[in-house]
Structure 1
Amino acid sequence: MGTTGQGRTGTGEANRPIGKARSAAGGLPAALRLTVLSSVTGAAIAALVVGIILERPPVIGIGGGVLVLLILLAALGGRRGSARGEPPAGRTALARIEDLRATGGETADVPVQFRLTVAPEPEDGRPAYRVKISQSINLVDIPAFRPGGTAVVEYRPDQPWDVRIVTRPAPEWSRRAEAAEIDPAPESTLVSDPDAVEGAWCLLGLVALLAGAALVVLLFRGELFTPDDAPAASKRPSSPSSRTFSTSTTVSGPSSSLLAFGRMRATATELETRVDTAYVTAITIEDHRMAVRGDSALPPGRTVHLQALPYELFPGLVREARTTLGVGDPGSWRIDVTPGAGAGEGPRVRVTVTGEEGTAHLDADATGRVTERDPR
């Protein structure tokens, strides 16, 4: 009895949108996992390299530790994947050869691209559908396959695009193939592997990897891109040419507040160029003004490095001071940065807010962590 594909066309077209929806729903979590893992990997590699360049053991430990953890997770995931049960067994079916084309010929096994109409058995509950596959066929067997002919194939019900032509079928299936007449399935029933977009996945992983690495480099850019001779120059003994200095700059315009992302660091770089040194003794930051002063005769331990401060965290400290210190509707704010009081202590950051109820402030360390509050 012949097997046709036309009688089940409607069912195949109805099933097609469902398959697409499932593929899209399953692809989103995979994309998120790839993005997170790639970005964390890039950040870990960058942290390891930055730590080695800056000779920072804690940074080296964090980067190396995260890399080791990722390797262990990958190894455990591989073991768990290999321990899972075998995929569903392949089903045997007949298929109409719509078209075939050899893509090589240097060896006895020739790669051939097939366009097939697969007609699953009625008990499989699946309509006939089209698929494109590539399979190596021995030169001896190629004459047995021709357009319009019938071949015996194996396919997986859970992955209908995974089809393989059986070149040596069982006698029963050979007889069925000789007697079968399969109608071509419409092009709308063509199925393909939803995960076969390797180029897009690779591009997504590469972008996430570079983004993670760039984030780490951005956090340490002050130290990475400080001229190597700056510390050496600061260690020179004081001489009659030592000087004190102070300068300030004002930004204007309704949307030019120094709380805007990146504005503080850019202004600090401008002031560093003016005074020709990154080491200062005091920094004052207001909404539209930044000022520095210093003494070139002081050693680095009694100064603050302009590019080593976490300017990106200062807007958050200002918001916290405005909302948690009991000063309602504060009209102004100011950040004062001074060197640490003792040896080995980092810079001290004080955020002061002023309103109708009075003045209050909070203190933070060089990492932006609040260490003390003095509410109204």
Structure 2
Amino acid sequence: MSATVTPAPALGERPPTPAGRATPFGRALHWSGAGAAAGGFAGMLADPRGWYVVAFCVGFTLWLLVTLARVLGAVHRALPGAPPPGGRLALARVESIARTGLEVNDQPQCELTVVVGPGTLRQGTGPAYATTTRAVLDVVTLPSFQPGSVIVVSQPDPAQPDVVVVATPPADALAAARAEARHEPGEGALPPLDRVPLRTAAPRPGLGLRGPTPAGLLGGVVLAGGAALAVLLPTLLG
């Protein structure tokens, strides 16, 4: 699971917009380009001139541009100060921190194990749980993320365990985090690590690019196959 350090969203609920997930239009372009390139390459084996060369070049260029756009978007989201992905705010206590070995703009990516408090800062509902998240942290702020520190996180989708570290929380959230930090584990809103369940999400590679869902993968394969058949149609029809 991965996360980015972001400025704070407005306190309270926001529609979830999972970071790293391509839009339907982007997925359609990605798979169509891959299919057209595959069909053009297959056709070039029989006829290395004309239509199939054009289809391969156009399809491969489209696939490459969409892929680069996703990668650049993931890098942008990983930079400290990137726009927030949306969600609701909660308190979390850092239990451990370790560098992953990846650096973005000379800032280290770290893996944090945190205990996330129950519900939102205002509502205080829902069970507490432990999870891990990755964040690119400014080296100047690393002392604020040592074990025992209480931080503010955003939950892009409250139904999932993913959390996003909030770099500059609003004043009331920051005050709540400082007040919670004065309590021993179990005395405040955040229970000890050994009293909460560990919740994990499906791993995301690299800087947070999400792979396709099974349904999305099936739809993508069908779309790519259709694009490849459309490119090969002149040959198939004889």
TM-score scaled to structure 2, two decimals? 0.48
Higher percent of residues as strand: 1
Q: Which has the higher contact order (CA 8 A, sep 6+)?
A: 2
**Which of structures 1 and 2 has the bigger CA Rg?**
1
TM-score scaled to structure 1, two decimals? 0.33
